[in-house]
Amino acid sequence: MGYPENILADGEHVVLHKHPHWKALVVPTLIFLVATALAGVGAGYVVGSDLGQTTKVVLGSVIAALWLVISVWFFGRPLISWRTTHFVLTDRRVTFRNGIMTRSGIDIPLQRINSVEFRHGLVDRMLRTGTLIIESASDDPLSFDDIPQVEKVHALLYHEVFDTDSGGGSAARASGAPR
């Protein structure tokens, strides 16, 4: 599912659109691989056993059903959730949308942003990801986890906020005005 362009206001332009970092899919992928390996070993054992044909079919069906449930719940659901989570920076606001069946989202106008910071530990630094923390005018700080290239996003957001406050904005950059 792509980002819903129809929620943009007239004249509003997307500056940055990101999904969470791929590291969010590492554990689900490992669970999928382990479940597939175990299902394969179990199916191989059932086929090679001296059990009756009906018992083999029942055990094979149970193994397939368990594999399917584990694969959908622990791999398919996180994959779809990852794909339907959007962190978007426009020339007017920061937008975050997530959810599969029940969607939720937040929009923060750039004029209301007081501070922007990021955090990332050693592993996050190696993977070039981290947590972006945005403090707006009247709300508690909002943190967005697993933002890819968090330092670049931080800098870009800071410049968007600074340029918007000074009246330059993305329009000034698009026209070739120096920063």
Give the chain's domain count. 2
Question: What is the reported pTM?
Answer: 0.78
10 and 93 together in one domain: yes
Q: Report pLDDT for 137.
A: 79
Q: In the predicted model, is pLDDT for residue 168 greater than 80? A: no
Burial of 166 (0-12, 13-18, 19+ CB in 10 A): exposed
Q: Report pLDDT for 166.
A: 55
Q: Is residue 96 part of a domain?
A: yes
Q: Report pLDDT for 2.
A: 57
49 and 96 together in one domain: no
Q: In the predicted model, is pLDDT for residue 173 greater than 70? A: no
Q: Is residue 110 part of a domain?
A: yes
Q: Which residue in 113, 118, 141 sits closest to 131, CA to CA?
A: 118
98 and 144 together in one domain: yes
Q: Is residue 176 part of a domain?
A: no
Q: Report pLDDT for 177.
A: 38
What's the CATH number where 120 sits? 2.30.29.30
Q: Is residue 32 part of a domain?
A: yes
Sheet with 142-148, strands from edge to edge, namely 113-119, 129-136, 142-148
pLDDT tens by residue, 70-120: 999 999 999 999 999 999 999 999 999 998 889 899 999 999 998 899 999
Q: Report pLDDT for 89.
A: 92
Q: Is residue 178 part of a domain?
A: no
Domain span holding position 67:
25-81
CA angle 27, 130, 106 (to 5 degrees): 95
Q: Which residue in 81, 138, 85 sits closest to 108, CA to CA?
A: 138
Q: Which residue in 107, 74, 114, 75 sits closest to 93, CA to CA?
A: 107
Q: Given the DSSP bridges, would you call strands 86-90 and 14-18 parallel, antiparallel or unpaired?
A: antiparallel
108 and 157 together in one domain: yes
30 and 107 together in one domain: no
Compute the distance between CA of residue 30 and CA of residue 26 in angstroms, rounded to an integer.
Answer: 6
Compute the distance between CA of residue 101 and CA of residue 72 in angstroms, rounded to an integer.
Answer: 15
Which residue shows structure tokens 């399917």? Answer: 68
Q: Among 81, 113, 129, identify where a domain stops.
A: 81
